[in-house]
Amino acid sequence: AQSVSQHNHHVILSEAASLELGCNYSYGGTVNLFWYVQYPGQHLQLLLKYFSGDPLVKGIKGFEAEFIKSKFSFNLRKPSVQWSDTAEYFCAVNSGDSNYQLIWGAGTKLIIKP
């Protein structure tokens, strides 16, 4: 069965630090990849997505993610985090084999210290 792994459940950084959140998936075929963000007390919002083309995807709020097919990875990055980036981040994957159902990672809670 397909699975999505987010290695870090909690990450604590200081403002202006660089961020990289890991996401690995288990499926070897063609996939679509997503990062969602959930700010405290709010609903999930789409941060960015990759369907095809340039493997470096830029999203909202200065976030980007790189799809590395050989590593089955879609890591989320931001060069300089802000206190307002404190949130939970979810990676998700779908494919034709899963009938395009999103398979979700467990989430990473990011805390930015002011």
Partner 1 sequence: DSGVTQTPKHLITATGQRVTLRCSPRSGDLSVYWYQQSLDQGLQFLIQYYNGEERAKGNILERFSAQQFPDLHSELNLSSLELGDSALYFCASSAGQGGTQYFGPGTRLLVL
The b-or-e profile of 57-76 (16+ CB within 10 A means b, else e) is bebeeebbbbbeeeebbbbb
Which span sits near partner 1 by CB under 8 A: 20-28, 38-46, 64-72, 78-86? Answer: 38-46
Q: Interface with partner 1 includes 101 (CB under 8 A)? A: yes
Which H or E element spans position 33?
strand 31-38
**DSSP one-letter code for 80:** S
Among 17, 27, 44, 72, binds partner 1 (CB under 8 A): 44
Which span sits near partner 1 by CB under 8 A: 13-21, 57-65, 78-86, 93-101? Answer: 93-101
CA distance 3 to 110: 22
CA distance 114 to 111: 10
Q: Interface with partner 1 includes 75 (CB under 8 A)? A: no
Among 50, 90, 91, 112, binds partner 1 (CB under 8 A): 90
Judged by the rule CB under 8 A, the positions of this chain that interact with partner 1 are: 32, 34, 36, 42-46, 49, 90, 94, 98-102, 104, 106-107
